[in-house]
């Protein structure tokens, strides 16, 4: 498989060096930035994953994430000393895909990096050398989704989803008659144990997804809430916004 590129933006040189050594040892190509401004300058379409420190001097990681989301759907993993749920939700609202609080183990970091990269289909022809991808799509209620790559069209127009938003939408569209409780949705998409505070994480991503695929996000007709039960794709009379 082609070498994957990871951009690390972290102002703490010791942490940055440790992450670089770990990930380079696992075969990734590493780019480094010591602040947010430098991270934006070093980002390019060749980058497959961005690891962002939230609290950096000058431009914060949250601001960097917001700027990146204007041009890319690259997976973004936040690193931060803050572990409160409200701080986590800020990162996810800004467009992040995952969140890891310091101090963290390198084993956990490696697992999260692999999980984010595993299902990310790189844009602009960055596929395996010599590979000819077979495009498989599903379509329903004006939404068309490629099953093997993060590409989605709504009413004929391509929209940019984060990797996590794409995974939620794909799961719901592949199971149009199934209602997914929040716990089930979280465990399947995030691939980690569910805790009560995970409700907020799911809600943020559902809200962000609706703003991108619904004609009227305030009255959703594609990502529907079944009160007291969970979410499903384009449901029936029992569904509510």
CA distance 69 to 82: 22
Q: Among 13-22, 128-137, 198-207, which stretch is predicted with the lowest mean pLDDT? A: 128-137
Contacts of 163 (CB under 8 A, 6+ apart): 73, 75, 97, 116, 119, 120, 150
- What b/e readout covers 213-233, taking b as 16+ CB neighbours within 10 angstroms? bbeeeeebbbbbbbeeebbbb
Binned at pLDDT 50, 70 and 90, residue 241 comes out as: low
H or E stretch including 159?
strand 157-159
Q: Quick check: 235 pLDDT over 70?
A: no
| pLDDT at position 239 over 70 | no
For residue 205, pLDDT beyond 70:
yes
Weakest-pLDDT range from 69-78, 103-112, 219-228: 103-112
Sequence-separated (6 or more) residues with CB below 8 Å from residue 87: 54, 80
Portion of the chain with pLDDT greater than 70, in percent: 86
The mean per-residue pLDDT over the stretch 40-46 comes to: 93
**In the prediction, which pLDDT does 161 show?**
92
Query: What's the pLDDT score for residue 228?
Result: 87
**How many whole angstroms separate alpha carbon 125 and alpha carbon 135?**
13
According to the model, what pLDDT value does residue 127 have? 45
Domain boundaries, the chain: 5-118, 137-233
Maximum alpha-carbon separation in the chain = 56
State whether residue 67 is helix, strand or coil. Answer: helix
The rounded mean pLDDT for the chain is: 85
Please work out, in degrees rounded to the nearest 5, the angle formed at the alpha carbon of residue 223 by the alpha carbons of 221 and 228.
105
Structure tokens at 147: 């099953």
CATH code for the part of the protein at 137-233: 1.10.10.10
* Residue 90: predicted pLDDT: 76
Nearest residue to 234 via CA among 137, 151, 139, 153:
139
Q: What's the pLDDT tens digit per position in 134-174?
A: 558 899 999 999 887 788 999 999 999 998 999 999 999 98
CA-CA-CA-CA torsion sign (199, 201, 204, 207): negative
Of residues 143 and 2, more confidently modeled: 143
Q: Which CATH number fits the domain 5-118, given the four candidates 3.40.50.2300, 1.10.3720.10, 3.40.50.620, 2.40.70.10? A: 3.40.50.2300
């Amino acid at each position: 498989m082609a070498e994957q590129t990871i951009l690390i933006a972290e102002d703490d040189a010791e942490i940055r060096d440790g992450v670089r050594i770990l990930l380079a040892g696992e075969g990734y190509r590493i780019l480094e930035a010591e602040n947010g401004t430098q991270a934006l300058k070093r980002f390019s379409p060749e980058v497959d994953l961005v690891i962002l420190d939230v609290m950096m001097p000058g431009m914060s990681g949250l601001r960097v994430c917001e700027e990146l989301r204007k041009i890319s759907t690259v997976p973004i993993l936040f690193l931060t000393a803050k572990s409160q749920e409200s701080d986590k939700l800020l990162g996810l609202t800004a467009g992040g895909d995952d969140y890891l609080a310091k101090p963290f183990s390198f084993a956990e970091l490696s697992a999260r990096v692999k999980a984010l990269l595993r299902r990310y289909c790189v844009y602009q022809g960055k596929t395996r050398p010599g590979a000819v991808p077979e495009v498989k799509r599903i379509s329903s209620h004006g939404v068309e989704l490629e099953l093997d790559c993060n590409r989605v069209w709504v009413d004929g127009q391509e929209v940019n989803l984060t990797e996590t938003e794409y995974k939620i939408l794909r799961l719901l569209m592949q199971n149009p008659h199934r209602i997914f409780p929040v716990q089930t949705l979280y465990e399947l998409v995030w691939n980690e144990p569910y805790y009560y505070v995970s409700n907020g994480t799911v809600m943020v991503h559902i809200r962000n997804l609706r703003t991108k695929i619904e004609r009227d996000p305030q009255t959703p007709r594609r990502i529907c809430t079944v009160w007291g039960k969970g979410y499903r794709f384009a449901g029936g009379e029992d569904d509510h916004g």
